[in-house]
Amino acid sequence: MSRFIGSAAGLLVLMTTACAPSIQSASFQATLSPTRMEDVRVFTTRVPACEYEELGIVTSEPPNLFTHLQAVVDGMRRRAALMGGHALVELRPRSQAAAGSPSAGDGSSGGAGYLATVVRFSSPCSSP
């Protein structure tokens, strides 16, 4: 019985982690103090008007078509915060970055993965 419970618990952990998107990153800068994920802003169609430095890039590879876009964005914001970032700039589907194709508009991740540049503002930024 205890072997069954252990196997079931292991399967539950595997199923839970299999639904999370895989987040990758590469830093251009030395390690900075982390920021709060909740404070990381997302810019998709424009860049902030204030000065910033690029810290690196973040990409995602959703494991399946059922991964919600919000989970992908939250994972990317979490990684940007760990890198010391204040914002994700030009968040876009990787297929769009490579080939100019549109993103899925149904709230799913579309399976293509996403790409963004992590930036840190030089001074407080009030740009919307």
**What confidence score (pLDDT) does residue 22 get?**
92
Give pLDDT, residue 34: 96
> How far apart (Å, rounded) are the C-alpha atoms in residues 67 and 104?
12
Q: Which CATH architecture has domain 21-121?
A: 2-Layer Sandwich (3.30)
Whole-prediction pTM value? 0.73
Sequence spans of domains, the chain: 21-121
Residue showing tokens 């930036």 = 119
Query: Across residues 106-110, what is the average pLDDT?
Result: 47
Q: What are the tens digits of pLDDT across the range 19-42?
A: 788 999 999 988 889 999 999 999
Whether residue 79 contacts residue 58, with contact meaning beta carbons closer than 8 Å, is answered with yes
Render pLDDT for 48-77 as a digit per residue (tens, 0 to 9). Answer: 989 999 999 999 987 677 788 899 999 999
> Which pLDDT belongs to residue 102?
43
Summary mean pLDDT of the chain: 80
**Torsion on CA atoms 70, 47, 122, 78, rounded to nearest 10:** 10
The band of 103, judged by pLDDT with boundaries at 50, 70 and 90, is very low
User: What pLDDT, on the 0 to 100 scale, is given for residue 125?
Assistant: 81
